[in-house]
Amino acid sequence: MSLRRTVVILGAGLATLLTVVILRAETTRLQSELSLLDSRAAVLWQELRENELELARLRNPALIRARVAQMRLQDSPVDRAAGDTQPPDR
Amino acid sequence: MVVIVLLVAGAGRLAWVECTRGSGLREQAQRQHTATLVVPAQRGDILDTRGRILAGTLRRPSLFVDPSLVEDARFAAHSVAPVLGLNPTELEQIIRTRRDRGFVWVKRRLSDRELEDFLAVRRDRRLRAFVIRQEPQRVYPSGRLAAHVLGFVGAEQHGLAGIEQSLDGVLAGKDGWRVSTVDVRRRRVHSRPADYTPPRDGAGVVLTIDVHIQQRTEYHLRNAVKEFRAHWGTALVMDPQSGEVLAMAVVPAFDPADPIPPHPDAQQREAATQRMRNRAVSDSYEPGSIFKPFIVSCALDEGIIHLDEPYVINGPTRRFGSRTIHDTHAYSTLALHEVISKSSNIGMGLVGARCGNERLHRFVRRFGFGDPTGIRLPGEHPGLVQDFSRWSGYSTQSIPIGQEIAATPIQIITAFSVFCNDGILYRPRIVRGVIGPGGETLADYSRPVAVRRVLDSRTVREFRRRALVEVVRSGTGKPAAIADYQVFGKTGTAQVARPDGRGYLSGAYVGSFMCGAPSDHPRAAVLVSLYRPSAGAYYGSRVAAPTAAAILADTLVYMQVPPELTRDQGPTGAATVSVVVARRDQGADCQHAVTDSQQLITDN
């Protein structure tokens, strides 16, 4: 085997090894990144849920009525007839 | 030679380790670089009839430790415990005694501050055995609203009361799990698809409750319970044309997010248990005079009596065999419709004598008393209708005035709806449907379920128009009159039976009123009951009728039901009610009709 052929074979082997190592490292890095993205998606989903539930809290009729009373708009015919001025319940 | 000896010695050592500790070390290594994580299923939401969230789930951080990975228990415990407000000695003890376990909770549902402090400590001191897990937490955005309907969940997110309990199997879903390769700081590096079982999220439950009607019902009921110092009160609003429960309120209420105070003593626990009872379905009591229409209407339907028939009362007391029946006023003669509108006990005693026990028993059962209604709420009481063999001569006068019988509020409002829908007994419904996590319909319960026809439609219309309307126009229910709509209903004031069943408690009453409107085509039925009011007044006409009317008025306006009375007829006028606005479906026209009519009455 000539020196040149030996060098080529060793070079090819080294390149293959390097490629394998790089691919393996890249796979691990991407897996890790995917894991982080999963976590991020979970956090964002969580934020979405929190916002949905906060919206539900703000749509609570008691809060809406409190706001209506704050604006001095009586909304109930019974309240109107009775001149009800007490603060709305929670 | 030396190298060879060293290699042989090393190989021998390896072989020895492999033989003696190999499997243990392999398991330890496996534990260190893999983690099995439970992926919790999302518990389904509970929604009102228009899709507003009444109960939802958030995820909150909880902390657990893998004791097998803790190298220095004392150091770990004294690092972590102070930032979480825990006792370091106790935590150290837990870590030491549970070395064989891979999982022990340290603290659940950390606050934001605790989480921040813990993460800082873990980063600085490299406490990799302590892991944060996001745990579900049930949230009720409207606070105490409809608490008795919704119920609550325990620490493990299993329903323990209300809809949370009765539909737990639908709401809960099924947890998934994932096996991952993790790095030294327990961060996930790699997961194989084969090692992942996705969670199956719980389905959402849509109720028939409307939050706006519910809120107004609770508001008016709370005021009444407070004003009359009642032990408790309950109010129900039902769509009588379908059996849908639009509101179900019980006062006092509780916070479903925190139903029992932490570390309660026996007294606090008992008080919390009482507060959590959904008395609208779980408590039965003698209905008293609100029971009279059920007997009279059946007797009318069978042609035994007639509404214009005169009854000689000669009150205020009258003997029936060995029993004396009392009226609140001394009436001489009353027509049958007046027996109802003036709530004459003597008149009802005479009706009972005309019918006889056998018929009375049939009438009672026909309206569903003595059977659970089948509403999907836990702990429903069937009420009490004694076996016919135990009925006596007393029953002939007791049953027509609502004694010797017990009924739950849901039974009473369900039976009263028969007078609103031309004679059909519908099964009350509180669940409208079930929707999957993607919004698809899994079950549809929105169609009315008719149990049976109880009365002929002509009998119902005549009885409603001539007897029940008269109750509010000129009878005991006058405080229930409201503008724009002709209310019909019946008052009731019942004595509270002694717990041993012998006689009645002195000065203890249940004041009730059941009503509906508009009288030509009822759109809502309301029942209000106050248990043992103690502020002086106790008659149903005084303690319950105004509250029921207020709830009814708010409900009808919210539902955009067109007004019913003309401008020259007050709500208590004696003239026949005429409809000024043709009935229309909900929509902009109805809103205009309401506004126009309100203007007419105001001008008048």
Q: What would the pLDDT profile of B83-124 be if each residue is shown by its tens digit?
A: 998 998 999 998 888 887 778 899 988 888 899 999 999 888
Please name the helix (run of DSSP H) or strand (run of DSSP E) that holds residue A6, with its range, or none: helix A3-58
pLDDT at res. A86? 46
pLDDT at res. A90? 37
List of chain A residues whose C-beta atoms are within 8 Å of the C-beta of residue B188: 32, 35, 38
Of all residues in chain A, the one with the smallest CA distance to B220 is: A89
pLDDT at res. B579? 34
B52 vs A42, A46, A59: nearest CB: A59
State the average pLDDT for chain B. Answer: 88
pLDDT at res. B180? 80
Is the Cβ pair B550, A59 closer than 8 Å? no
pLDDT-derived band of residue B50, with 50, 70 and 90 as boundaries?
very high
pLDDT at res. A77? 54
Say whether pLDDT at B202 is over 90: yes
- How much is the CA Rg of chain A, to the nearest whole Å? 34
Is the Cβ pair B143, A54 closer than 8 Å? no
Instruction: For residue B600, give both structure tokens.
Output: 């007419």
List of chain B residues whose C-beta atoms are within 8 Å of the C-beta of residue A87: none
Q: Total structural domains in chain B?
A: 2
**CA–CA gap between residue B486 and residue B469 (Å, rounded):** 7
List of chain B residues whose C-beta atoms are within 8 Å of the C-beta of residue A49: 56-59
Of all residues in chain B, the one with the smallest CA distance to A75 is: B554
For residues B222 and B181, membership in a common domain is answered with no
For residues B457 and B505, membership in a common domain is answered with yes
Closest listed residue to residue B483, CA positions, set B561, B589, B583: B561
Say if B573 falls within a structural domain: no
Of all residues in chain B, the one with the smallest CA distance to A53 is: B141
Shortest Cα distance, chain A CAs vs residue B3, angstroms: 29
> Which one has a higher pLDDT value, B240 or B155?
B240
Dihedrals phi, psi of B340, to nearest 5 degrees: -75, -50
For residues B158 and B240, membership in a common domain is answered with no
Is the Cβ pair B141, A60 closer than 8 Å? yes
| Dihedral sign from CA coordinates of B514, B519, B520, B524 | negative
Is the Cβ pair A78, B145 closer than 8 Å? no
Of all residues in chain B, the one with the smallest CA distance to A62 is: B215
The predicted model gives B33-49 an average pLDDT of 88
For residues B402 and B522, membership in a common domain is answered with yes
Say if B567 falls within a structural domain: no
The predicted model gives B386-415 an average pLDDT of 94
In our burial notation (b when 16+ CB lie closer than 10 A, e otherwise), range B542-554 reads: bbbbbbbbbbbbb
Residue pLDDT, tens place only, B549-567: 999 999 999 999 999 864 4
At residue B191, the 3 state secondary structure works out as strand
CATH (domain of B192): 3.90.1310.10
B554 vs A31, A53, A76: nearest CB: A76
> Which one has a higher pLDDT value, B192 or B454?
B454
The predicted model gives B486-509 an average pLDDT of 90
CATH (domain of B293): 3.40.710.10
Say if B599 falls within a structural domain: no
pLDDT at res. B462? 95
Dihedrals phi, psi of B435, to nearest 5 degrees: -120, 140
pLDDT at res. B583? 34
Instruction: For residue B156, give both structure tokens.
Output: 């493990």
| pLDDT over 90, % of chain B | 63
CB contact B211 to A (< 8 Å) = yes
State the average pLDDT for chain A. Answer: 81
Is the Cβ pair A61, B212 closer than 8 Å? yes
pLDDT-derived band of residue B603, with 50, 70 and 90 as boundaries?
very low
Say if B588 falls within a structural domain: no
The predicted model gives B443-469 an average pLDDT of 95
B176-182 and B34-39: which strand pairing?
A: antiparallel
* Domain segments of chain A as ranges: 3-77
Of all residues in chain B, the one with the smallest CA distance to A25 is: B189
Say whether pLDDT at B196 is over 70: yes
Dihedrals phi, psi of B60, to nearest 5 degrees: -120, 145
- How much is the CA Rg of chain B, to the nearest whole Å? 33
List of chain B residues whose C-beta atoms are within 8 Å of the C-beta of residue A53: 53, 56, 58, 139, 141
Instruction: For residue A37, give both structure tokens.
Output: 């993205």
The predicted model gives B489-504 an average pLDDT of 88
Residue pLDDT, tens place only, B243-253: 999 999 999 99
Please name the helix (run of DSSP H) or strand (run of DSSP E) that holds residue B460, with its range, or none: helix B457-463
Shortest Cα distance, chain A CAs vs residue B188, angstroms: 6
For residues B319 and B376, membership in a common domain is answered with yes
**CA–CA gap between residue B565 and residue B586 (Å, rounded):** 19
Of the residues A78, A80, A85, A89, the best mutation for testing chain B's interface (the one with the most B CB atoms within 10 Å of its CB) is A78
Say if B161 falls within a structural domain: yes
At residue B195, the 3 state secondary structure works out as strand
**CA–CA gap between residue B74 and residue B95 (Å, rounded):** 9
Single out the residue in B519, B536, B559 at which a domain terminates.
B559
For residues B129 and B272, membership in a common domain is answered with no
pLDDT at res. B584? 32
Dihedrals phi, psi of A78, to nearest 5 degrees: -70, -45
Say whether pLDDT at B507 is over 60: yes
Say whether pLDDT at B575 is over 70: no
Is the Cβ pair B189, A62 closer than 8 Å? no
CB contact A51 to B (< 8 Å) = no
Residue pLDDT, tens place only, B321-330: 888 999 988 9
Closest listed residue to residue B467, CA positions, set B554, B601, B347: B347
| pLDDT over 70, % of chain B | 92
**CA–CA gap between residue B378 and residue B344 (Å, rounded):** 37
- Does the structure's ipTM exceed the value 0.85? no
Shortest Cα distance, chain B CAs vs residue A18, angstroms: 22
Single out the residue in B559, B574, B592 at which a domain terminates.
B559
A56 vs B56, B187, B483: nearest CB: B56
CB contact B133 to A (< 8 Å) = no
pLDDT at res. B588? 33
B244-251 and B104-107: which strand pairing?
A: unpaired
DSSP alpha helix (H) spans, B167-265? 168-172, 211-227
For residues B305 and B446, membership in a common domain is answered with yes
- Lowest pLDDT segment from A7-21, B254-268, B506-520: B254-268
Is the Cβ pair A32, B212 closer than 8 Å? no
List of chain B residues whose C-beta atoms are within 8 Å of the C-beta of residue A50: 58
For residues B140 and B221, membership in a common domain is answered with no
For residues B504 and B443, membership in a common domain is answered with yes
> Which one has a higher pLDDT value, B586 or B163?
B163
Measured from the Cβ of residue B114, the count of other Cβ atoms closer than 10 Å reads: 16
For residues B194 and B320, membership in a common domain is answered with no
For residues B57 and B77, membership in a common domain is answered with yes
Say if B15 falls within a structural domain: no
> Which one has a higher pLDDT value, B38 or B199?
B199
CB contact B558 to A (< 8 Å) = no
Residue pLDDT, tens place only, B583-601: 333 333 333 333 333 333 3
Of all residues in chain B, the one with the smallest CA distance to A47 is: B58
Is the Cβ pair B53, A53 closer than 8 Å? yes
The predicted model gives B36-45 an average pLDDT of 86
How many contacts (CB atoms, under 8 Å) link A and B?
Answer: 82
For residues B364 and B225, membership in a common domain is answered with yes
Contact B53, A48 (CB under 8 A): no
A60 vs B145, B190, B482: nearest CB: B145
pLDDT at res. A75? 54
CB contact B21 to A (< 8 Å) = no
B553 vs A59, A61, A77: nearest CB: A77
CB contact A6 to B (< 8 Å) = no
pLDDT-derived band of residue A82, with 50, 70 and 90 as boundaries?
low
Q: Which residues contact B69 (CB under 8 A, 6 or more apart)?
A: B31, B32, B128, B129
Say whether pLDDT at B539 is over 50: yes
Say if B581 falls within a structural domain: no
Instruction: For residue B164, give both structure tokens.
Output: 């949370």
pLDDT at res. B145? 94
List of chain A residues whose C-beta atoms are within 8 Å of the C-beta of residue B189: 28, 31-32, 35
Is the Cβ pair B57, A49 closer than 8 Å? yes
Domain range for B396 is 211-255+265-559
Say whether pLDDT at B430 is over 60: yes
Say whether pLDDT at B580 is over 50: no
Is the Cβ pair B53, A76 closer than 8 Å? no
**CA–CA gap between residue B298 and residue B94 (Å, rounded):** 69
Residue pLDDT, tens place only, B459-493: 999 999 999 999 999 999 999 999 889 999 999 99
CB contact B595 to A (< 8 Å) = no
Asked if the peptide bond before residue B382 counts as cis, ω within 30 degrees of 0, the response is no
pLDDT-derived band of residue B260, with 50, 70 and 90 as boundaries?
confident
Say whether pLDDT at B210 is over 90: yes
List of chain A residues whose C-beta atoms are within 8 Å of the C-beta of residue B57: 49
